[in-house]
Amino acid sequence: MELWQLTAAEASRRMEAGQLTSETYTRALLERIRERDPLIRAWSWMDAEYALRQARERDREPRRGPLHGIPFGAKDVLNTRDMPTQHNSPIYYGHRPNEDANCVAVLRAAGMVVMGKTETLEFASGGRKPLSRNPHNPEHTPGGSSSGSGAAVGDAMVPIALGTQTGGSTIRPAAFCGTYGMKPTFGRISFEGAKHYSVQLDTIGLFGRSAQDLWLTAQAFRLTGAEAPPTGSAAGLRIGLCETPMWKDATPDGREALHRAGKMLAEAGAKVSTLVLPEPFDRLTEQQDVIMHEGGRGAFLPEYFGAGHLLHQEFRDKVENKRGFTSEQMRYVIDQVALRRMEFEKLIGDLDAFMTLSTPGEAPHGIKSTGDAAFNRMFTAMHVPCITVPGLTGRNGLPVGIQFIQRRYEDEKLLRVAAAVATVLDPATAGSR
């Protein structure tokens, strides 16, 4: 096994045991990047020498914790005090904020090496497309808007990355790129220093090469307790499988994959039941869309006033409220979503997880679109924590992710479920951790 193939958890164990230095590991990842990134284009900014300098500094220090010396990538809508933050917007070419986003500062404080910035859809919202390609087949999209973070972790250029999710921007690219992704409970990781879009939805997302990688990253943010997650067993897990109102958008191999995953888990001893979401949930995706777009009225005002000619028309339309959202409509959709939150969690009850697809199916062909976020938007709106677990593939051999969901603030419980189901759905990774 090559060093770049290690999960963060395994690299951490080797460093802890004195068998691996941050410099050696970082160098191996940089080699991987040098080889692969001309094709995959996961990175919008990278300085190999600077990454190595950080790694050497970490090697000289006492270890601060399990992530000490592990490199990560940061989506280019997250401010970094030592690298450009360009939002894939010509307004921000060469822009260098001198403060870290809260989430970047936390991982830096944990001793991690900031490897570089990853490609994003313009302002993680619309407009200019990222250049990234799917590492499993470069003719396909890696998903978005955290396209570079998904592609970089999916291609093992870096074991951990940060993204954001306002619609489906973390779970979708993680699933398309065949890796692990987590959208924590809304608000549990501060959004300070990230480009805002909708304050009711904006969430920091995590990418890792295994459920343990997600656990370690979540731990740095204090979403979990101090110990490593049990690898667990799927036996005895009570899981509610749900096709959701988006089933009509799922592809045949997406549909097949969800039911196959349900069978695999049942065969491993999980109690898989079937859930149906009542009719009002049919409108959640549309309601999320209203809340998200309306957020753009205020979020992009400075760019609109200060450099409107460089701002993509999509953002000008948001600021000018071209869709004509009304006060009454905003109150209605926000309150409807709040009611669905309560009903959804009552439905989950004491199940170990709600289970559905992460995306409609495999990553679509081409990179003009980052694919459909249908299976993400309602869960983002409901503020619940979501994790996508890889392992299954569709007819093109591309990954199909299975999404597990818990009630708000049950991030730790969900991380344990992810570790357990990964032993069934993704045994190769779960075995090596």
Determine the Cα–Cα distance for residues 208 and 223; give it in Å rounded to an integer. Answer: 15
Interaction between residue 315 and its own copies (CB under 8 A): no
Interaction between residue 342 and its own copies (CB under 8 A): yes
Q: Are 277 and 244 in contact (CB under 8 A)?
A: yes
Interaction between residue 90 and its own copies (CB under 8 A): no
Instruction: Return the active site residues.
Output: 75, 145, 169
Supply the minimum distance, in Å, between the C-beta of residue 101 and its own copies: 9
Q: Compare residues 191 and 375 and give the one whose CB is closer to its own copies.
A: 191
Q: Are 158 and 146 in contact (CB under 8 A)?
A: no
* Single residue of 335, 349, 366, 395 touching its own copies by CB under 8 A: 335
Q: Are 64 and 84 in contact (CB under 8 A)?
A: no
CA 233 vs CA 236, 268, 350: distances in Å? 8, 8, 18
**Cα–chain-centroid distance for residue 317?**
27
Interaction between residue 100 and its own copies (CB under 8 A): yes
Could you tell me which stretch among 17-25, 48-56, 189-197, 274-282 binds its own copies (CB under 8 A)?
189-197
Q: Are 427 and 206 in contact (CB under 8 A)?
A: no
Q: Compare residues 106 and 246 and give the one whose CB is closer to its own copies.
A: 106
CA 90 vs CA 85, 172, 278, 355: distances in Å? 11, 26, 44, 40
Span between the terminal Cα atoms of the chain, in Å: 13
Could you tell me which stretch among 154-162, 241-249, 256-264, 292-300 binds its own copies (CB under 8 A)?
292-300
Task: Provide the b/e sequence for 266-293 (b: ≥16 CB within 10 Å).
Answer: bebebebeebebeeebeebbebbbbbbb
Supply the minimum distance, in Å, between the C-beta of residue 180 and its own copies: 21
* Single residue of 14, 27, 238, 297 touching its own copies by CB under 8 A: 297
Q: Compare residues 264 and 386 and give the one whose CB is closer to its own copies.
A: 386
Q: Give the residues lining the site for its own copies (CB under 8 A).
A: 79, 96-100, 102, 105-106, 109-110, 186-192, 195-196, 198-200, 221-222, 295, 297-299, 301-302, 305-306, 319, 327-328, 330-331, 334-335, 338-339, 341-342, 345, 407-410
